[in-house]
Structure 1
Amino acid sequence: MMTRGSAPLKVLVRPVLAFGFALLTLLAPVSLRIKTP
């Protein structure tokens, strides 16, 4: 059961982490611009 449950978890976590990382890289400069006009 562990192998059956861990496989889909990894498949779901990888794109979520990639999406979060992309969001961070895109929002970081925007937030810096807002803080320092």
Structure 2
Amino acid sequence: ISDVADQQSHLSFDEFLAVAAKQSTLMVETLVQKLARG
């Protein structure tokens, strides 16, 4: 993802959103599992 004015990036914002959603899901699932274990 790029925040520079020339708009060059190896990843589009839509592609970034898909990756971020998967990573966020994994993080939350892991956190919930750890909390459930006590």
Opposite residue 5 of structure 1, the aligned amino acid is F
TM-score, length-normalised on structure 2? 0.58
Corresponding position of 2:27: 16
Question: Which protein, 1 or 2, shows the higher relative CO under an 8 Å CA cutoff with sep ≥ 6?
Answer: 2
Identity %: 7
Q: Distance in 1 between matches of 2:15 and 2:24?
A: 15
Q: How many residues align?
A: 27
Name structure 1 gaps, 5 residues minimum. 28-37
Q: Structure 1 runs of 4+ off > 4 angstroms? A: none
